[in-house]
Amino acid sequence: MAKRKRKRNAVAAPPSEPPVRPGIIGLSRTVPAGIVKPPYADSGEPGPSVSSLVRTPAELDAMRKAGAIAAEVLIHAGSFVEPGIATDKIDEIVHNETIRRGAYPSPLNYRGFRKSVCTSVNEVICHGIPDTRQLLDGDIINIDVTVYIDGVHGDNSCTFLVGDVDALSRGLVTETYVSMMEGIKTVRNGSKVHDIGRAIERHARAHNLGVVREFIGHGVGTEFHSDLQIPHYYDPRARTELTTGMTFTVEPMLTLGDPSLYLWDDDWTALTMDGRRSAQFEHTLVVTDSGHELLTVASDGTTAAELYAPKPVEAVK
């Protein structure tokens, strides 16, 4: 789940059709008493960030476990993506699988969020609330899974293709994944936060894609969102030096057109102003002495993006 930042305007572009419209949002799902909940689970308010940006060895071990569960739940959810399934059904699948593994679905009641996963379809950039809308052939959908277990969070997302998707949207999804990996490649002990954004923005611009600026990556660990901010564009002020043991997300959101956005009245669902599609991928990682380690990887070494992201087809124009 991304952290919100500021807004930016860009060049307008024609909208895609049909536009996404809100459906009916069902009740929040319940969590068994035996599942350990994060501090905000009852009140909805996480409070100010007080966590260190660097994890202890024990916390890192816990984060590897949380990351593996998050990755496996995301892979599981992706296997159900097909025309006709409602996003609320995806929420049920994610919720039940998370609980089955002894974890808590981190989005549930985080700042009042009513569901256990974010499902963002087509022009929805992020934080889509699962509802009765059914996926249509040709849609794309980002599923953002975060779980809490053993005192830490694991956070990852993947954009999936629904049925027969047009080449332009496939290219958007492909290049968004590549941009995330380009940003991640820069991460090492001694590198700077702005190195990540510069690599992502360079790749996006090379493929004529917009970069959303209002939502950014974030520190994650004992807190869902810690104070470390990871812009997905080059900001020379983002000079924080990355050091061994820091854990955070890289989660670029790229668009086919203008990356300007607006929010629905629910104050969560962010959509492109011009109605053109957006895609997102996300990993949680830790800085190491020799580079970095992806933490949101399934126990067999796979990730949802490796399994589901489309291979390159043609350049986005």
- What does the pLDDT look like over 221-245, one tens digit per residue? 999 999 999 999 999 999 999 999 9
142 exposed, middle or buried (CB, 10 Å; 0-12, 13-18, 19+)? buried
Q: How many domains does the chain have?
A: 1
Phi, psi of 76 (to 5 degrees): -60, -45
Closest CA to 219 of 25, 14, 53: 53
Q: Amino acid identity, residue 141?
A: I
E strand residue ranges, 174-282: 210-211, 215-219, 226-230, 247-250, 253-255, 261-263, 270-272, 278-280
Diameter of the chain measured on Cα atoms: 51
**Pair of tokens at residue 182:** 């380009």
Instruction: Write the CATH number for 91.
Output: 3.90.230.10
Q: Which pLDDT score, from 0 to 100, does residue 311 have?
A: 75
Q: Which pLDDT score, from 0 to 100, does residue 310 have?
A: 86
Using one digit for the tens of pLDDT, what is the confidence trace for 250-296?
Answer: 999 999 999 999 999 999 999 999 999 999 999 999 999 999 999 99
Residue 121 covered by a domain:
yes
Give pLDDT < 50 ranges for the chain: 6-14, 314-317
Q: Which pLDDT score, from 0 to 100, does residue 3 have?
A: 63
Helix (H, G, I), strand (E, B) or coil at 287: strand
Q: Which pLDDT score, from 0 to 100, does residue 317 have?
A: 40
Could you give the count of Cα atoms lying within 13 Å of 276 in the half-sphere of its Cβ?
A: 21
Residue 77 covered by a domain:
yes
Q: Which pLDDT score, from 0 to 100, does residue 9 have?
A: 40
Q: What is the pTM of this model?
A: 0.94
Residue 274 covered by a domain:
yes
In the numeric block, the tokens 């899974």 are attached to 145
Residue 7 covered by a domain:
no
CA–CA gap between residue 144 and residue 299 (Å, rounded)? 19
Domain that includes residue 58, residue range: 53-308
